[in-house]
Amino acid sequence: MQVNASQLNALLTAYVPKRLPVLITGRPGIGKSDIVAQVADQVDHDLMISHPVVEDPTDSKGLPFAAADGQSARFLPFGDLERALQPRKRPLIWFLDDLGQASPAVQAAKMQLLLARRIGEHKLPENVTFLAATNRRNDNAGVSGILDPLISRFATVVELEATIEEWSAWAVANDIAPELFAFLRFRPDLLSVQKTSRDIEATPSPRSWGFVAKTMGVVPKELELISHAGSVGEGPATELLAFIQIYRQLPSPAAVLATPDVAPIPEAPSALYAISAALAMYANESNFERVVIYTERLIAAGLGEFAALLVTDALRKTPDLANTHAFIKAQGGPIGKLIHG
């Protein structure tokens, strides 16, 4: 079952306090680990991340040693297993990342932990919850599969899907450069791309676009293509730079809002995405009345899609805009009809 980031967050927030294990699948770099970390903060849990792909079965069972009677063996826990077995006041999420890349022997060693919540004579505290994540077989991520008996140990299995709506909300909250934000709105199909070859080359994903966001404005202009292509691939990087040229040639948001009743409205979709994103990031309580004027002109020109993006993104960036006189007044006009359907 596919879920978006908000749905996965809500699901984990409900499951974790009940100690129900969840397996999350999906493409590399779409935010599985980040969402688990967010949920740990939201439900006030500690987070311990293990990587079964680099483990040996003894990591989950403990090191065997001879018991005092010389006739039996006991197991000495170490590493993450030892930490998880410690009595704790604060509950713990034990996150098994990249579980599908682990060997069958390591996966089998996880079964008793997940179902019986014990290994030999060692019993896990009640306030430990297992979450796990894996890429899929067709993601070229070294996943050969997960043992069926191990899958059955999870209360539910969901596939995380990257969506431009969820990424946009994250981008606004994290002050991502408006030109990158606008570009992915213009080309949402480039947010996450399935890799089809085994060549050593980058492909677009929310994670790799995050690297682009961090390097924009940092690398010299003559190295932008090299830098961005190394993050998301040459094709998407070339498109991004072409889009940025369009973005930089547009009037500044301040110039548009200086005369919102007569400022030009672009015709090209790329430029419309660019100006909508720029105005959304620029909007504040003191200029929002002017933003409303320009937005209503977009609606009158039959460009309601861009008007809706502008207002939605502006409210995400600055929620207090909803309390301004300009926004309250606009609720009775074309903006209110557009937003409320």
Amino acid letter for position 185:
R
- pLDDT tens for residues 49-58? 999 998 988 8
User: And the tokens for 162?
Assistant: 């990257």
User: Which stretch, 65-69, 73-77, 316-320, has highest mean pLDDT?
Assistant: 316-320
Integer-rounded Cα Rg, in Å, for the chain is 25
Q: What global pTM score does this model have? A: 0.84
Tell me if residue 231 falls in helix, strand or coil: helix
Average pLDDT over residues 196-200: 70
What's the pLDDT at 335? 86
| CB-CB contact of 202 with 228 (8 Å) | no
Q: Look at residue 228 and tell me whether its pLDDT is greater than 70.
A: yes
Average pLDDT over residues 225-235: 95
Q: Look at residue 34 and tell me whether its pLDDT is greater than 80.
A: yes
Q: Locate CATH 3.40.50.300 in the chain.
A: 2-160
In the chain, the N- to C-terminal Cα span, in Å, equals 29
Q: Identify which of 166, 163, 171, 172 has the alpha carbon closest to the alpha carbon of residue 316.
A: 172
Given pLDDT bands bounded at 50, 70 and 90, which one contains residue 341? low
Q: Look at residue 202 and tell me whether its pLDDT is greater than 90.
A: no
Q: What's domain 2-160's superfamily in CATH?
A: P-loop containing nucleotide triphosphate hydrolases (3.40.50.300)
User: And the tokens for 181?
Assistant: 């934000």
